[in-house]
Every structure is written in structure tokens, then in C-alpha cells.
A and B are shown apart, each in its own frame.
Chain A
């Protein structure tokens, strides 16, 4: 318990009952990000791997909007717009690459390209 006590940085103000705090949103965002990491590392289908990066973008977006709300500042939301832009650009390029790779090997298996590992 002593080691855990360093984690107990309580807030100054007591919480009102039933309040959804910033922590709730951050926990959701972190869980979604972790699920994205697990999927990216464990799945072998190239398309699912890119889908998992999209999920990580999504998780970052939730955290950004929650912080934007917390600080009463619109810049977080604006940053989500930029994240969406990058996600769209990334999807276009990554999917074009996937189509190209599929044409060469007739498979979406990431393990089919293991000879690229240097």
C-alpha cells in the first residue's frame, strides 16, 4: 500500500455525487489506445493493423476533447480536426500501399513480408 500511496494525488475539491470526471474520459481513452496497441501488435491482416492505428487516433481524439472541455478551451477540438485530417491522409496512403502489396503477393498477411526485416 505504501508504494501505491504515491499514486493517491487526491483533488483539492471533493467530488459531487455521480459526477463524471476528467479521469473517466482519460481512462476510456487510455483503454481504447491500449486495445489499439494490442490489435496492431497481434493481428496479421494489414488492413486490420491500419484499422487499429485509426482506433488509436480515435482514443487520442477523446482525450483531446475531454481536455478541451476541462480547460474550457477550443484548441483541443481544433487539434482533433487536424488529427482527423492526418487520419484521412494516412488512410488514403496506407490503403493505396495495401492494395499495391496485395497485388504483389495476393495476400494481406503481414508475415508474407518478413524478408524485409533487414
Chain B
């Protein structure tokens, strides 16, 4: 851990960050949110600064620090902002900056899936529910917050627990100072080329290597052992030496893959015969991208998980429909009455409820406050 950050500095700054988060949480009476946010930002910013300074003077990781601070800062706003809608919007910020971090880690597919699924679907559902399940503001106080949004529950204990977990985790991660390998489209692609031979065969097809029947087109399921992923060549069997010579003359694109001047010389001398195996270079556009890798890993190595995920999604959909379709009939005026009478607790509730609210009475049967509804 000394290689990336001094432990004493780390834990001091973590303490500063914890104090800031504690101050920023919404609470009764004095509400020093701005000061708390500043202190928390100073704590986390100090850690990242220390990480950055230790790492050196030139900053290829500038964007990491930028997006990490945006993610943490808006994460902090999610838990400290008293208005739920703003919390959800800040969470979208967090999602966007983590997808930027995913891009930097070379996980393009996950980055965009995260934006589509999280920011586009899950968070929008959250926003809808926040709007559905918020009491309409009364005329006199449009800006008053609900009591449960304005005050947090046990902020000191929660912060202590959270930062104890953080201190534990950061201590355990001490071995993680190893550098990440250089990024690019080459991760695992060498090994994956032999697992996805169809890509190579299709690319050779596009370059016209199999035109004229000069070479035997290998079966895609058996082409794996023909490919040498390190040197990016594939061994192909010659079917017709005469057609191969014509291919050299007719198609410069294919000829560029088929090889060198020695090969041409060998062809002219007639030393290449049908049945010989020749090396063919793989075109430059045969690369296994991150999306190919993720798709292959998902389908080929985790088919059971994929099926189970489908079942879980179906069950969740059915469950949500069953849970949410339970109708509780209540008129608008009645609803307002109930909201107003909430101040006077149970005494006002029984009087405000009209005789025709049978559905509501059924829904209230389990709750202590509405016990009189069945009468």
C-alpha cells in the first residue's frame, strides 16, 4: 500500500471525509450541509491528490481522477439531498461517470449497457415512482419538505459504520497496487481468435481469397486449429494451383494476403501443388473486440446464468404486476382529507373516512392506525 499511498495519510483523510459526510446529512435544527460537503470533498479530494502525486508528475490518469470525483461527489449528493427527485438525478450523474470509467477500462459494451439500462430504464422508473408516491403539496406551504426527508435517522452511527467498512476494505485492498495492462482492442483477442474462427473465415471471404476455388474453404467448426493467433496466419489447403496463380494476377487484395514474392516465384516454378498447405495472413480487420469477448463469454461459458437471468426477470415482472395491481379505491378529496388528518393521528382518520370506502378499509385492515375501518 505504501507504493500508492501512505496508510496514515489515507486513514486521516478518510476520517476527514467521514466527518464531512456526517455534517452533510440532513438533520434537525442547524443544517451545515455546505460545510459538510466541502469537508467531505476535501477528504476524498485529498486522497485522490495523494494517489495522483505519488503516481508521478505526468497525468495520464487525469480523466480517472475527474470522473472518480464526479462519481463520488454526486453519490454524496444522492444521500444528502433532501429532495428525492434531485437524489435520483444525481444518481444518474454517478451512473454516467461510472460508465466513463468503464470506457477507460476498455469495457465499451458495459459502459453503454450501463447508460441504457441504469440511466435510461431503472432510474426513470425510480423517478416515476418518486412522483407517484409523493404527497401533493398543500397550498400554504409549497416548499416544505416531508419530515422524513428533512431529518436523517442516526447520522452519526450510519457514518461510523460506513467509514469503518471503508477503512476495512481499503486496508484489505493493499495488494491491488499493480498496474493495469495497457488498454486497447487486443485484450484476450489472441486466444479468442481461435475460439471464433468464423470471423477469420468471413473476413477472408470478403477479401476474395476463396474466389475461383483455388483454396479449400475450411469448415467454420473445424477451422480453430488452423489459426495461429500469435502470428495472425491461417493454414489453408490448396485445391487448384492453376486457379491460385490466376487469383494472384486477378485480385491484388487477395494476393496481398496470400503472401510474398517467394510464394509467387514458387507458383511460377510449379512447386505448389494441390493438397499443399500454405500460410495465409489474416486481414487487419480481424480483431476480437470487447463486445465479441463479452458476448462469447456470456453465451459460451455462462449459458445457465443467462437462462436463469431470463427466469428471474420474468418472475420479477409477474411479481411487480401482482403487487402493484392491488386497487385501493380512494377519491381525490378523501385522499386530501386523509393527508390533512395525518397530523392528528388516529382520532381524525375515522371521522374523515366516508361510508363508501370499502376497498380502502380492506387495504387498511392490517395497519394499526386504520383498525376502525372495518366497522
Q: In the complex, how many angstroms separate the beta carbon of B107 from the nearest chain A beta carbon?
A: 5
Please, how many angstroms separate the alpha-carbon atoms of A33 and B165 in the complex?
9
Contact A103 B363 (CB under 8 A): yes
Interface pick from B236-244, B266-274, B315-323: B315-323
Please, how many angstroms separate the alpha-carbon atoms of A23 and B132 in the complex?
41
Kindly identify which residue among A15, A19, A27 contacts B170, using a CB–CB cutoff of 8 Å. Answer: A27
Kindly identify which residue among B1, B79, B157 contacts A48, using a CB–CB cutoff of 8 Å. Answer: B79
Kindly identify which residue among B107, B126, B335 contacts A47, using a CB–CB cutoff of 8 Å. Answer: B126
Q: In the complex, how many angstroms separate the beta carbon of B129 from the nearest chain A beta carbon?
A: 5
Given A38-B162, A81-B110, A105-B367, A43 and B79 touching (CB < 8 A)?
A: yes
Contact B125 A25 (CB under 8 A): no
Contact A89 B313 (CB under 8 A): yes
Near A by CB (< 8 A), chain B positions 28-59 give 44, 47, 51, 55-59
Contact A38 B78 (CB under 8 A): no
Contact A15 B148 (CB under 8 A): no
B113 within 8 A of A: yes
Residues on B with beta carbons closer than 8 Å to the beta carbon of A78: 294, 297-298, 301-302, 305
Residues on B with beta carbons closer than 8 Å to the beta carbon of A73: 188
**Interface of chain A, main secondary structure:** helix
Chain A residue with minimal CB distance to B81?
Answer: A48
Chain A 29-47, CB within 8 Å of chain B: the 1/0 string? 0111111111101111101
Contact B309 A82 (CB under 8 A): yes
Q: In the complex, how many angstroms separate the beta carbon of A56 from the nearest chain B beta carbon?
A: 10
Please, how many angstroms separate the alpha-carbon atoms of A16 and B3 in the complex?
11
Residues on A with beta carbons closer than 8 Å to the beta carbon of B118: 54, 58, 84, 87
Residues on A with beta carbons closer than 8 Å to the beta carbon of B301: 75, 78
Given A23-B4, A92-B320, A28 and B133 touching (CB < 8 A)?
A: no
Interface pick from B86-94, B206-214, B248-256, B257-265: B86-94
Please, how many angstroms separate the alpha-carbon atoms of A14 and B5 in the complex?
14
Residues on B with beta carbons closer than 8 Å to the beta carbon of A97: 323
B21 within 8 A of A: yes
Q: In the complex, how many angstroms separate the beta carbon of A73 from the nearest chain B beta carbon?
A: 7
Contact B72 A21 (CB under 8 A): no
Contact A77 B109 (CB under 8 A): yes
Residues on A with beta carbons closer than 8 Å to the beta carbon of B117: 84, 87-88
9 A-B pairs, CB-CB below 8 angstroms?
A11-B177, A20-B64, A21-B180, A23-B5, A35-B78, A51-B88, A55-B91, A58-B98, A107-B342
Using CB atoms and an 8 Å cutoff, list the residues of chain A in contact with chain B.
1, 4, 7-11, 13-28, 30-39, 41-45, 47-48, 50-52, 54-55, 58, 61-62, 65-66, 68-70, 72-75, 77-78, 80-82, 84-93, 95-100, 102-111, 115
